[in-house]
Structure 1
Amino acid sequence: MSKTGYERRHSRWYEALLLGWPFQLLVGVLITVGMPSLERWGWGFWDYLPPVRSNTLLACMLAFIGVLWTLRRMHRFPGARVSAFIAPTVSSAYLLVVAVLFFTREEYTRQVLFGSFLMSLGWFYLAFFMGRRYRRMKLAIVPIGRVDELRPTPDIELRSLPQPDLAGVRYDGVVADLHDDELSPEWERFLARCTLHHIPVYHVRQIQESLTGRVRIEHLTENEYGSLLPSLSYQGVKRCIDFIAALLLLPLLAPIMLVTAIFIRLDSPGRALFIQQRMGFRGVPFKVYKFRSMHVEKKGKGFTEGENDPRITRVGRLIRKCRLDELPQIFNVLKGEMSFIGPRPESMELSEWYERDVAFFSYRHVVRPGISGWAQVEQGYAAEVDGMTTKLQYDFYYIKHFSLWLDILIAFKTLKTIVTGFGAR
C-alpha cells in the first residue's frame, strides 16, 4: 500500500503482469497452439516446419489473437456479457481461418486446428471465470451533484465516499460531477491528489454512458459534435464488409426467402413484399423492402400497436418473431441504402413526427440505417415519443462509439434476439 493511502487497484507489478494482455497472449498461445502441436508432432516439432505445419500454426495463432482482441474490445461496452460471447467468437475466428485456408488451397492439419479450437474454448472460459472477481470495476463516488442517478451493475461496483479520503481502499477510479458548483475546495484537492497518484477521475456523464449504453441528449452541447461524428474510414470499410457479406449470404438466404414468400401468399391475399419509403442515410428517403406481415385490407397507425395488433397475419406473427420479415433488406444493403448494423430506419410519417417532438432526431441519419442496431438489442421496439427519446439515446451511443467491435457485439446480440424473440414486434 502507498504511504499516502492513495493507490490504484491492480497497479502492483504482479497484478499488472497477471491481468495484462501480454501475459494472456503469451501463455494463451503456448497452451492453445503449443499443446495440440506437441500432441500431434511431438517435441521439437518447430525444428522442421513444412508448409502444412507452418500454415496450421499461423492459422491457430491468428485465430487466438483475433479472439483475445475481440473479447477485450467488446468488454468495454455496457451489457456485454463476455461469457455469452466466448463460444461464438472462438467459433467464428476458427471458421474464418479455415475458410481462408480452404479457398487459398493451403495445406493444414485438421487435428491440430481442432485441438487448438477446443483448447481456446477452455482457455477463455477458464480465464473469464477465474478473473471475474478482478474484472469488476470498483469506483469511488463523490456524493455531490448528479451522481445519485448512477446505479451499480454486475460489472461495476459503486461506493459513495463519506469524506474526501479513500480510507486505504484501492479503487479503479473516482467519479464526480465536475460541473457542479457545490464541489468544495476539499473535494477538489482530493480529486487532484487522486490524479497525482494515477487514479483516474471520471466525470459522471462518462460513467453514466458506460453503465446505460446511452448518450444523454437533453442538451446536445454536453456532447461535442466531434465526439458524435463517426469515423469516415470505418464507414468505408464497413460498406465493403456489408457488400461482400450480402453477396455471400444472398445464395444461402434465397431459398428461405422463396419459401417465406410462398407461405405469405397462401396465408392471406396480397403481395409477399411490403415496400415503404423511409428516411435514410444523410436524410435521403429510400424504399425499404420487407416481407408483408399484415393484412393489406386493414388500416391502422404508422407503427405496430403491439404483439396483439389485429392486422398481423398468422404467418406474419411467426416471421416477425424470427425476424424473417427483414430478409429482403439484404437488397437494400447491396444497393448501399442500408447496412447490416445501424439505427433502424423510420417511416417518413414517423420521422416527420419525431422531427417535431424529439430534439436532434435528424442527427441519427449521419450513419447508414441498419437491419439491426444497438437500440433494438438493448431496448427493443419503441414507437411513442418517450420511448423514441430513449431509443435515440442508444442511437447516439452507437454513433459516438461507431466501430467494428460494437458491430460485432450487436451482431451476437441480434442472434440472441432472434432465438429468444426479445424486441421482435
Structure 2
Amino acid sequence: MPHVVLVITKGEAGGAQTHVLELCRALQGRVRFTVVIGGDDTRSVLGQALNQLGITVLVLPTLQNSLNPLKVLASVRALLAHLRVLQPEVIHAHSAVAGVIARLAGKLRQFPVVYTVHGFGFKPQAPWLIRTNAWLAEAVLAAWTTRMVCVSAYEKELAARLPMPPERVSVVHNALADVPWRSDMAAQPPRLVMVARMAAPKRPDVLIEALALLAHRGLQPDTHILGGGPDLARHQAAAAPMPHIRLEGDVNDVAERLAQHQIFVLLSDHEGLPISILEAMRSGMAIVATRLPGIEEMLTHEQSAWLVPNTPQAVAQALQTLLADGPLRQRLGQAARDRYEAQFQPEAMAEPVLSLYQQAPLMHTARWPMTRPRRQTQQLASQQANRQSAHLVWSLLGLAMIGLAYAISQALMARGLATVDFGRTVLASLVPYALAAHLLYRGAHMPAAERGPLLLVTTGLPFWLTPLAFALLQQPYSRGALLLTYVLCTFWFWLADQWFLRHRPWRLVYQDPRVPGLLAPWLPVPQGQGLPRIRLLPWPAQGMPPGAALACDGAVVLPAAANTGTSSASANSAPSSAERHHFLTALKLQHIRLYSPESLQQSLTGRMAAETLQNELWQTDGNPAYDLAKRLIDVGVVLALLPLWLPLALLVACGVKIDSPGPALFSQRRTGMHGQSFRIWKFRSMRHEAQDTPQFAQTNDPRITRFGHWIRRTRLDEIPQLFNVLMGHMSLIGPRPEQDGFVQQFAEQMPSYPYRHLVRPGLTGWAQVQQGYAASADETAIKLSYDLYYITHYSLAMDLLIVFKTIQTVLTGRGAR
C-alpha cells in the first residue's frame, strides 16, 4: 500500500478541500494517506472530516497563502522535517502555494511530486501582475513536477504554456460521492442558493445586483448565499436592503441545504472544475452559471444548465426564465443529475490518481528549473560501476582542491607568511591525493555503513606517510601545507560521499510482491535523519506510459523457478509468466540493470548470501598481482616492526607461564592457502590439557585462563603467528585458518567453503572484524559468508579498513570479537 502525503494550503471549506476529502474516501484501504494542512487551526473543517476517516492530519503553521520568500523557506524546512519521519512514496500537492512548497521539498529530498491544479493563477481574466507572477512561479517549478493533474481540459490547455512535457499532464475531473438528499424540483415557489467562498474569483456581487433587478420587476425569490471569506461583510451590507437574500457564512451541511432549494447559481471570473456545481448536479438542481471553459466541460447550455455572461442583466434574465418555467427547471435538473452519475463518480477520479501514484516514483524530473527531464544514463551499469564512475569524475574535479591550496600558498608567500617549501609541499601532495582517490575507487563496493571508516583510512594513510617519503628523499617540506591539503582533500571526498551515497537513494523497481519480504532483513532502517539508502518501487499493474523513461537504478528480479519450494500462498501472489516477460522486456528496452536479492544482500551487508554458500557451481578467482604486492607488504611490515613485537612477545610468554602451568606456546594444524596444512603458533590462552578432537572455543569457555581472557581480548595471543607470516603460511590480512579436522566437515556442509583457501589465511580478516569468533557451525557459516565476500573483493583499500577496525577493537573494545 503506497504512502502518500497530501499537502494543501488551507483546511477551510472549499473546492480543493472537498476534492482532497473525496480522494481520501475513494482510495481509503488502497493508499495510506497523511494530510498536511497549512495554518495553525487544528480543528479545521477539512481536518475534522479527515480525522473521522481515521487519516493522520498534520498542521503546518508556516504554510500560508503567501509566497513571501521567508515564509516559503520556513514552510519548506517544516515540511522537510515531516518528510524525514514519514518517508512517503509520493507527495501530492493541492493549490498553488502548497504546490510551491511541496515541489521545493520534493526536489531537495528526491521525492516524486504530483501536483493537482485546481485553477491556474495566470488565466487571461487575472490582472497582469498576478498573471505574470503566477506563470513565472509555475514555469520555474514545472521542471520539478513529476506529474501534473488538471481538473479540466481548459486547465491542461493553459499548462501547455509551461516548459513541461505534455505527456506528464493529465486531466482528472473532480468527483463526489453520492448522498441521499435530492432537491424537490416540483416545490413552489422555487428557492435560490449560491455556494462559494466570499473572495475572488467568485462574484456573489453580480448575483446580488441581478436579484435587485428582479426585485424591481416584482420577483423576490428566497435566496441563500452560503460560504465565508474576507468579502463576506461587504456582500452582507450590499444585500441588507433586500431581506429575501441571506448570506449565512460557512456551513457544514451543504448537501442538506442544497436539497431545500431548486435553483443553484455560481458566478465567477474564472474556474477550474468547480466542486459546488458538482454538488448541485448531484442534488438534481437547475443550474445557472457563468459561461467559462471549465464549467462548459461539465454542463451544456440549455441542455443541462443555463450558462450566461457574467453580467447582472444576463443573470437576471436567466433566473426570471427558470423561476417562471417549472418543467424547464425539472428537465435541466434531471439532465445535470444524469451527467453526474455518468461522469463524476469517485471511482472515475480515484483510478487515474492511483495510477499516477504508482507511476510517479518511476519517473524523472529535470535537474534545473525551466528545463525538461533527461533520460538517466548508465542504468545498465551496476551500482559499483556507477559509484566508481562518479568517484572518478569527482576525483578529477578535486584537483581544484590542490589548486586552491596552491593559490593559498602563493598568497601567503606574497605576504611573506610562507616559505617556498609551502608551495612545493602543496604540489607534492598531488601524489597522496591520487593514492587516496585510487584507494577509494577500489573500495567502491563496500557497504554504505563502512564508507566513513574507509574514507578516514584511505585519505589518512597516504598523507600520514608523506613525511616519511620526504625524509627518505632528504627533502624539506611544510607541515602546515601538508595539513592544509589533507583537510581540503578529506573534506572533498567526504562531500562526494554525502552527495552520491546519502543524499540520493538507490531506487529499485520490482514486480514480484515477495521481493520486499525477501529484502526486509537487509534493508537499512531509516532513523529519521536523511533518506534510506534503498527505496523499493513497485511496478505499476498497468505498466508505464509509452515512451516514459524509468527513473530507477535497477530492478530486483526473482528467477523464473523461484516458485519452486515456496508456499502456495506466496506462489499464487507471484506474477504470471506473461506478466514477468512483459516486465523484463520493458526493463531491457530501457537498459535497466537487473539484480537478484542475493546480490543486493551482498552489497548491503558485505557478505555473501546463504544461497552462495550452498551453490556447488559458484566460483571466483584470486588477484595474483595484489597477492604478490601483499606478500611484500606483509614481510616488510613484520620486519619493520620486529623491534616492537619481539620484546612484547617475550613479556606475554612470561605472563602465560606465570598464570598457569604448561608451555607458553600452543600449536595446531590448520589449513592454509590452496588447502595446504601448516602448523600455526599462538600464545596459550587455555589450560594445558590433551585435546582428542577439534572443538570450538566458546565465548565464556571455562578452559580459558585469567591471563588468557586478556590476551584474547587484545589479540596478543596472535603475536607468534607473525613467524607464520614470515614463513609464507599466513598473511597479516585474510580469512582465519581453520583446524584441519573441521575443514572436511564444513566443505561437506557448505560447498563453497574451499574457496576461502584461494588466499593466505590472516591474523585478522573481514569476517573477524564483522563477526568475531565462531562458536558453532552456524556461526562458521556466517563467517564464511564474510570470507567469501573478502575473497571476491579484496584490495589494499579493504585491507586498510580491516586494519583500522582491528585496531579500533583492540584499543576501544568496540566491534566484533
TM-score range for the pair, normalised by the shorter chain length: 0.7 to 0.9
**What is the CA–CA distance in structure 1 between the aligned matches of 2:794 and 2:644, rounded to whole Å?**
28
Who is 2:659 aligned against?
Answer: 267
Who is 1:372 aligned against?
Answer: 764
Q: Is the 1:276–1:287 contact (alpha carbons within 8 Å) kept by the matching residues of 2?
A: yes
**What is the CA–CA distance in structure 1 between the aligned matches of 2:815 and 2:457, rounded to whole Å?**
19
Q: What per-residue deviation string (whole Å, max 9, x for no partner) do you get for residues 66-86 of structure 1?
A: 223323432422364212333
Instruction: Tell me whether 1:411 sits opposite 2:803 in the alignment.
Output: yes
Q: Which deviates the most, 233-242 or 3-12? A: 3-12
Q: Which deviates the most, 230-239 or 141-150? A: 141-150
**What is the CA–CA distance in structure 1 between the aligned matches of 2:783 and 2:535, rounded to whole Å?**
26
Superposed, 1:223-372 pairs within 5 Å as: 223=618, 225=619, 228-297=620-689, 302-372=694-764
Superposed, 1:181-196 pairs within 5 Å as: 184-196=577-589
How many positions carry a matched residue from both structures? 416
Classify 1:86/1:251 alpha carbon distance in 2 versus 1 (closer, same or farther; 3 Å). Answer: same
**What is the CA–CA distance in structure 2 between the aligned matches of 1:14 and 1:205, rounded to whole Å?**
25
**What is the CA–CA distance in structure 1 between the aligned matches of 2:793 and 2:694, rounded to whole Å?**
30
**What is the CA–CA distance in structure 1 between the aligned matches of 2:446 and 2:729, rounded to whole Å?**
27
Q: Is the 1:278–1:286 contact (alpha carbons within 8 Å) kept by the matching residues of 2?
A: yes
Shift of 1:375: 1.8
**What is the CA–CA distance in structure 2 between the aligned matches of 1:92 and 1:421, rounded to whole Å?**
22
Shift of 1:269: 2.0
Which residue, 74, 99, 104 being the options, matches 2:468? 99
Residue type matched to 1:316 in 2?
G
Classify 1:197/1:381 alpha carbon distance in 2 versus 1 (closer, same or farther; 3 Å). Answer: same
Q: Which deviates the most, 8-17 or 317-326? A: 8-17
Q: Could you state the TM-score of these two structures normalised by the residue count of structure 2?
A: 0.46
Who is 2:555 aligned against?
Answer: 174
Q: Is the 1:273–1:289 contact (alpha carbons within 8 Å) kept by the matching residues of 2?
A: yes
Q: Could you state the TM-score of these two structures normalised by the residue count of structure 1?
A: 0.84
Q: What secondary structure does 1:277 align onto?
A: strand
Q: What secondary structure does 1:333 align onto?
A: helix
Classify 1:164/1:214 alpha carbon distance in 2 versus 1 (closer, same or farther; 3 Å). Answer: farther
Which residue, 155, 173, 176 being the options, matches 2:533? 155
Q: Which has the higher relative contact order, 1 or 2, with Cα contacts under 8 A spaced 6 or more apart?
A: 1
Which residue, 503, 511, 529 being the options, matches 1:142? 511
Shift of 1:27: 4.1
Instruction: Tell me whether 1:71 sits opposite 2:440 in the alignment.
Output: yes
Classify 1:145/1:178 alpha carbon distance in 2 versus 1 (closer, same or farther; 3 Å). Answer: farther
Q: Which deviates the most, 11-20 or 383-392? A: 11-20
Q: What secondary structure does 2:719 align onto?
A: helix
Q: Is the 1:377–1:413 contact (alpha carbons within 8 Å) kept by the matching residues of 2?
A: yes
Q: Is the 1:7–1:199 contact (alpha carbons within 8 Å) kept by the matching residues of 2?
A: no
Shift of 1:299: 5.9
Shift of 1:176: 0.5
Q: What secondary structure does 2:394 align onto?
A: helix
Q: What secondary structure does 1:81 align onto?
A: helix
Q: What per-residue deviation string (whole Å, max 9, x for no partner) do you get for residues 379-406 of structure 1?
A: 2222322222222222222222233333
Residue type matched to 2:468 in 1?
A
Shift of 1:349: 2.4
Who is 1:420 aligned against?
Answer: 813
Q: Is the 1:339–1:369 contact (alpha carbons within 8 Å) kept by the matching residues of 2?
A: yes
Classify 1:321/1:303 alpha carbon distance in 2 versus 1 (closer, same or farther; 3 Å). Answer: farther
Shift of 1:254: 2.2
Instruction: Tell me whether 1:394 sits opposite 2:772 in the alignment.
Output: no
Classify 1:164/1:414 alpha carbon distance in 2 versus 1 (closer, same or farther; 3 Å). Answer: farther
Classify 1:253/1:399 alpha carbon distance in 2 versus 1 (closer, same or farther; 3 Å). Answer: same
Residue type matched to 1:180 in 2?
A
Q: What secondary structure does 1:320 align onto?
A: helix
Shift of 1:335: 0.9
Q: Is the 1:56–1:113 contact (alpha carbons within 8 Å) kept by the matching residues of 2?
A: yes
Q: Is the 1:139–1:172 contact (alpha carbons within 8 Å) kept by the matching residues of 2?
A: yes
Q: Is the 1:264–1:315 contact (alpha carbons within 8 Å) kept by the matching residues of 2?
A: yes
Classify 1:59/1:135 alpha carbon distance in 2 versus 1 (closer, same or farther; 3 Å). Answer: farther
Who is 2:608 aligned against?
Answer: 214
Q: Is the 1:164–1:187 contact (alpha carbons within 8 Å) kept by the matching residues of 2?
A: no
Who is 2:591 aligned against?
Answer: 198
Classify 1:420/1:51 alpha carbon distance in 2 versus 1 (closer, same or farther; 3 Å). Answer: same
Superposed, 1:81-96 pairs within 5 Å as: 81-96=450-465
Q: Is the 1:51–1:107 contact (alpha carbons within 8 Å) kept by the matching residues of 2?
A: no
Q: What per-residue deviation string (whole Å, max 9, x for no partner) do you get for residues 287-342 of structure 1?
A: 11111111214869734542321211111111111111112211111111011121
Give the structure with higher Rg (CA). Answer: 2
Q: What secondary structure does 1:376 align onto?
A: helix
**What is the CA–CA distance in structure 2 between the aligned matches of 1:142 and 1:270, rounded to whole Å?**
64
**What is the CA–CA distance in structure 2 between the aligned matches of 1:400 and 1:43, rounded to whole Å?**
48
Shift of 1:267: 1.7
Residue type matched to 1:214 in 2?
M
Classify 1:353/1:235 alpha carbon distance in 2 versus 1 (closer, same or farther; 3 Å). Answer: same
> Any unmatched runs of 5+ in structure 1?
none
Shift of 1:344: 0.8
Q: Is the 2:769–2:816 contact (alpha carbons within 8 Å) kept by the matching residues of 1?
A: yes
Sequence identity percentage? 33
Q: Is the 1:75–1:81 contact (alpha carbons within 8 Å) kept by the matching residues of 2?
A: no
**What is the CA–CA distance in structure 2 between the aligned matches of 1:164 and 1:319, rounded to whole Å?**
63
**What is the CA–CA distance in structure 1 between the aligned matches of 2:544 and 2:789, rounded to whole Å?**
32
Classify 1:414/1:142 alpha carbon distance in 2 versus 1 (closer, same or farther; 3 Å). Answer: farther
**What is the CA–CA distance in structure 2 between the aligned matches of 1:145 and 1:130, rounded to whole Å?**
31
